[in-house]
Homo-oligomer: A and B are copies of this chain.
Amino acid sequence: MPDYTPTDRTRVQHVPQRGHYDRETVHTILDEGMVCHAGFVREGQPFVIPMNYARDGERLLLHGGHDSRLVQTLAGGVPICLTVTLMDGLVIGRTPAQYSMNYRSVVVVGAASEVTDPAAKRTALAAFTDHFFPGRGREVETMDQRIIDETAVLEVPLREVSAKIRRGPISDGKPEAKSSGIWTGEIPLRLTALPPVSAPSCPSDLAPPEDMANPRRPGLIRAGE
């Protein structure tokens, strides 16, 4: 598939070599993330709210209660920005000004619309669930229609999209810096899944299913790995 076309709103300007517009890079970042930060404007004031999301092909899915003011605002088709950021590491410079982070982020500019067709909504909710736990989307088949009716599902097409990536140590070409005796490098960061904790409402002899005890999800390592 062709790359996303950078626009004035999505082109990475400050350090252009950190910008990426190919679908594979964008999709990989979006598939690892679990939370996006949704930006919208109310009376000239920007608001940024964390929301779960899922990627399904060339759209991002959001969901929430029909009674949520946030969901109502987004469903109205106002201009929004959805940003996903994965923290990959702390970059330790030789001086504080060089401290930085390694990260991968995606910015999506556009507008949301509501998925209202009942079958399309069920498909979207299955995709949503699969994003968190691959394979669990099949559970949507057993969901009460009433619960589906209460849930609002929004979709945002992936049209104006860019990724930004910072990798590696500081760029420091000065020979005298190398002989300074000051250590520099990276402390890699990973998101770790600890062993599952059963809810008090679970019978004491009910163990977590295997795919909960060992979640296999891009971007998530298990404790001890």
On A, residues with C-beta under 8 Å from B are 9, 13-14, 34-35, 37-41, 44-50, 52, 65, 67-70, 79-83, 85, 87, 90, 92, 95-97, 99-101, 103, 105, 107, 109, 125-126, 128-129, 132-133, 136-137, 139-140, 142-144, 147-148, 150-151, 169-170, 172, 177-179, 181, 183-194, 196-203, 206-209, 212, 215, 220-221, 223-224
Nearest-CB residue, chain B, relative to A125 = B96
Task: Count the copies.
Answer: 2
CB-based contact A14/B83 at 8 Å: no
Inter-subunit contact A41/B46 (CB<8 Å): yes
Docked Cα-Cα span, A83 to B186, in Å, equals 25
> Of B48, B96, B143, B172, which contacts A140 at CB under 8 A?
B96
* A133 contacts across to B, CB distance below 8 A: 92
25 cross-chain CB contacts under 8 A? A13-B69, A14-B67, A34-B90, A35-B85, A37-B37, A37-B83, A39-B48, A46-B80, A48-B83, A49-B83, A90-B193, A96-B126, A97-B147, A99-B129, A99-B132, A169-B201, A183-B202, A183-B207, A185-B196, A186-B197, A187-B197, A188-B193, A189-B191, A189-B192, A224-B224
Residues of chain B within 8 A of A190, CB atoms compared: 191-192, 194, 223
**For residue A49, which residue of chain B has the nearest CB?**
B83
- CB <8 Å contact, A212 and B187: yes
Q: Which residues of chain B are within 8 angstroms of A52 by Cβ–Cβ distance?
A: 100-101
State the CA gap A92–B202 with chains docked (Å): 12
Are B191 and A192 in contact, with the CB atoms below 8 A?
Answer: yes
